[in-house]
């Protein structure tokens, strides 16, 4: 049973970017949207538009359970869950601390899994529901500097594939959305994690500076193939509301091209493509 017009929508990570815009778009289509964020004060504009706003930290069990319980108290079940909350840690593997890596997986993977676990009993009772997991074209390849962020998106892809088959008999659908570079605040947040260094003894110093420059000034520009946030939101809304959703929706020509290249090319050839488009450390 599909959910082309879910009556209750729970979205994580609505403080900015695609989460905020998706919440507003679904609200304007007539759905009862619960927009959430770690800091509820960031949701004031959405509340003024008539959306229900809730505090929700995907690294906090009580916070997640209370948000789901609120939707279920109002509507019986969550009709649509959009797992959007995420951020990008971008550091060389050697330099990322265990705490940073755990925090990345806590938000991007374990939070998504727990939110899914919490909504599924209600969806099964209702005999319907849809879960939209916001992945990335990065769930299909991994460039230098992006190991841990991309690893979380690889995990989202794998989890979604298993989940889609597990819950289909109960009328629950699972959809993955794979944005390419999108013009949102993501680039700025990613740059903040790069911890650029002026230390001449840092073997990754120049690499991190080049990577930060690429993210800040090149990769997320429309002239370089980045997709406007509005276009990405249209795809997410289609994935969330269409009567017969596909398993995956890639967003942007760059996302489709890179994922096709990753499937078609041998590793050495694809590595050459990545080296021509991303900075790499130098041993000199």
Q: Catalytic positions, please?
A: 15, 135, 149, 153
Pick from 254, 124, 263, 113: nearest CA to 182: 254
| Alpha-carbon dihedral sign for residues 247, 251, 252, 258 | negative
The Cα-based distances of 188 to 19, 159, 192, 212, 217 in angstroms read: 16, 28, 6, 9, 10
CA–CA dist 46, 53 (Å, integer): 7
98-105 and 147-167 helices, crossing angle to 10°: 30
83, containing H or E segment: strand 80-83
Rounded to a whole number of angstroms, the distance between the first and last alpha carbons of the chain is 59
How many C-beta atoms lie closer than 10 Å to residue 250's C-beta?
Answer: 23
CA–CA dist 281, 77 (Å, integer): 50
CA–CA dist 93, 100 (Å, integer): 11
Calculate Rg over the CA atoms of the chain: 19
111-126 and 147-167 helices, crossing angle to 10°: 10
The DSSP 8-state label assigned to residue 244 in this structure reads: S
Instruction: Please say whether the beta carbons of 178 and 255 come within 8 A.
Output: yes
């Amino acid at each position: 049973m599909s959910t082309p017009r879910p009556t209750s929508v729970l979205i994580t990570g609505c403080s900015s970017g695609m989460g905020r815009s998706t919440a507003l778009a679904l609200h304007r289509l007539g759905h009862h949207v619960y927009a959430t964020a770690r800091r509820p004060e960031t949701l004031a504009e959405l509340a003024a538009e008539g959306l229900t706003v809730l505090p929700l930290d995907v690294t906090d069990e009580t916070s997640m359970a209370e948000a789901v319980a609120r939707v279920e108290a109002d509507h019986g079940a969550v009709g649509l869950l959009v797992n959007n909350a995420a951020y990008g840690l971008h550091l060389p593997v050697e330099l990322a601390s265990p705490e940073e890596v755990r925090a990345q997986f806590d938000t991007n993977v374990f939070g998504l899994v727990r939110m899914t676990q919490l909504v599924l009993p209600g969806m099964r009772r209702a005999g319907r529901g849809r879960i939209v997991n916001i992945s990335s074209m990065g769930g299909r390849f991994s460039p230098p500097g992006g190991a841990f962020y991309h690893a979380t998106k690889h995990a989202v892809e794998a989890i979604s594939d298993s989940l889609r088959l597990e819950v289909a008999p109960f009328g629950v659908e699972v959809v993955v959305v794979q944005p390419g570079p999108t013009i949102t605040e993501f680039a700025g947040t990613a740059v903040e994690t790069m911890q650029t260094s002026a230390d001449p003894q840092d073997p990754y110093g120049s690499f991190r500076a080049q990577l930060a420059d690429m993210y800040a000034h090149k990769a997320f520009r429309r002239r370089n193939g980045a997709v406007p946030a509005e276009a990405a939101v249209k795809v997410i809304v289609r994935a969330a509301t269409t009567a017969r959703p596909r398993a995956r929706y890639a967003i942007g020509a760059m996302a489709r091209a890179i994922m096709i290249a990753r499937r078609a090319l041998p590793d050495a050839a694809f590595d050459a493509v990545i080296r021509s488009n991303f900075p790499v450390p130098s041993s000199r």
